[in-house]
Amino acid sequence: MVRAIVGANWGDEGKGKITDMLGESSDVVVRFQGGSNAGHTIINKYGKFALHLLPSGVFYNHTTSIIGNGVALNIPYLCSEIESLINRGVPKPNILVSDRAQIVMPYHILFDEYEEERLGKKSFGSTKSGIAPFYSDKYAKIGFQVSELFDEALLKEKVERVLEQKNILLEHMYHKPKLSVDDLYQTLLDYRNMVAPYVADTALFIHNALKEEKTILLEGQLGTLKDPDFGIYPMVTSSSTLAAYGAIGAGISPYEIKDIICVVKAYSSAVGAGEFVSEIFGDEADELRKRGGDAGEFGATTGRPRRMGWFDAVATRYGCCMQGATEVALTVLDVLGYLDELPVCVGYEIDGKVTKDFPVTAKLAKAKPVYEILPGWKCEIRGIKNYADLPENCRRYIEFIEREIETPITMISNGPAREEIIRR
């Protein structure tokens, strides 16, 4: 059985916690897209961790953690992340890296930086992890697959061929130092030695695991609104954030994905530029950010302050729909207990017309939020274990959101720890 955990919004919805929690009942946890450009914050018995590349299953002995073929693999980053877990007392995880995954090259990171520098004020707010140049090269067919590290003749020839092009860009477009073939080739041989213990045909591994009726968990990064096709293009990420892409990025049949858990945050937040209709500013935003603590303040990878907003039911309904959500985990609800009233964005007004359908970016830029105001519950809800014990206005908020997003809310997270969860 395959389950996917994905985000309905702009990312940072708390997928890490839900994956860590559901990792317990999974045999295999797979990252299928993205790279080390986003992070999950996980709090468990070993402490507090920000994982960027490793799947959230790494804390369990019984799980195999897979970096799928769809991931942008930064090899030194992977190794240092594994090492940092072991240094903090986590048992050595079982990790497999797809032999078809492609490698984030040192120049991808350079080009990411140089391009943002060149764009100046018009930059994308990239995390500068090399992700956009990486996926560009993958589809331009000049990327390096992990398997290619093991064929020295091929590797040498390809390094020469690719650097010829990269050096023209470095010299004439960015006016930066050129790269040497020998240095890059040597770096790739080092990468080979670092990654060799983990390399496997992971699609075959998953295929066999499914035959043995094992439970597979696909772990998404970011959320629907950062998807290159269905998100707020061009302020999106460079690989698909949708559960459907799990089939490709992990190498499994689409019909195997039976359960799609969409993680939805009880209010809105976004890191980086892009349209954000229900965004709030000033003291109101500062207060929410401060109350959000770890969940509110800074992106796990970027350390950038998050932009804050009220719950956006238009974006979230669309987010769940494009994910094909079968259920929703509503997170970070505990943070909202201080509010007298909770505005929920239930429509967008565009050119004088109100719509509940999420539009293309050009129209989104003109959208004004239409709010419905719900009463607050004015108390702490952490520690509550049963749905019926939540304050009435809190349940009203959950049930209102559930109707608006047209997806059952089966889990409510009322604190960052693994066990702080209310199941309905």
Q: Annotated active-site positions, please?
A: 12, 40
> What does the DSSP 8-state code read for residue 368?
E
Told to check if 14 binds ligand GDP by CB under 6 A, we report yes
Q: Name the maximum alpha-carbon separation found in the chain.
A: 68
DSSP structure string for 43-83: EETTEEEEESSS-GGGG-TTPEEEE-TTSEE-HHHHHHHHH
Here's the x/- map for ligand GDP, 391-420, by CB under 6 A: it reads as ----------------------xxxx----
Told to check if 300 binds ligand GDP by CB under 6 A, we report yes
Q: CB under 8 Å to 140, separation ≥6 — which residues? A: none
The 3-state DSSP class for residue 312 equals strand
Told to check if 16 binds ligand GDP by CB under 6 A, we report yes
CA distances from 59 to 26, 84, 253 (A): 12, 13, 27
The number of CA neighbours under 13 Å toward the Cβ of 103 is: 24
Residue of 53, 75, 96, 295 interacting with ligand GDP (CB under 6 A): 295
8-16, 228-236, 246-254, 388-396 -> range binding ligand GDP (CB under 6 A)? 8-16
Q: CB of 387 within 8 A of CB of 394? A: no
Here's the x/- map for ligand GDP, 323-352, by CB under 6 A: it reads as --------xx-xx-----------------
Residue of 3, 6, 17, 237 interacting with ligand GDP (CB under 6 A): 17
d(CA 261, CA 230): 18
Residue of 3, 9, 13, 328 interacting with ligand GDP (CB under 6 A): 13
Told to check if 40 binds ligand GDP by CB under 6 A, we report yes
When the beta carbons of 234 and 293 are compared against ligand GDP, the nearer one is 293
Least distance between ligand GDP and beta carbon 43 (Å): 6
What does the angle CA 368 – CA 369 – CA 371 come to, to the nearest 5 degrees? 150
Told to check if 294 binds ligand GDP by CB under 6 A, we report yes
Task: From 50, 51, 63, 53, select the one nearest 24 (Cα to Cα).
Answer: 63
Least distance between ligand GDP and beta carbon 219 (Å): 9
Cα 103 from chain centroid (whole Å): 19
Least distance between ligand GDP and beta carbon 237 (Å): 12
When the beta carbons of 199 and 394 are compared against ligand GDP, the nearer one is 394
When the beta carbons of 11 and 68 are compared against ligand GDP, the nearer one is 11
Helix axes 181-195, 152-168, angle to 10 degrees: 130
Q: How many helices (H) does the chain have, and how many strands (E)? A: 13, 21
Residue of 2, 11, 95, 322 interacting with ligand GDP (CB under 6 A): 11
Here's the x/- map for ligand GDP, 169-198, by CB under 6 A: it reads as ------------------------------
d(CA 107, CA 166): 8
Told to check if 7 binds ligand GDP by CB under 6 A, we report yes
When the beta carbons of 134 and 267 are compared against ligand GDP, the nearer one is 267
Task: From 6, 1, 8, select the one nearest 401 (Cα to Cα).
Answer: 8
Least distance between ligand GDP and beta carbon 227 (Å): 15
- The residue ranges that bind ligand GDP (CB under 6 A) are 7, 11-17, 38-41, 43, 263, 294-295, 300, 331-332, 334-335, 413-416
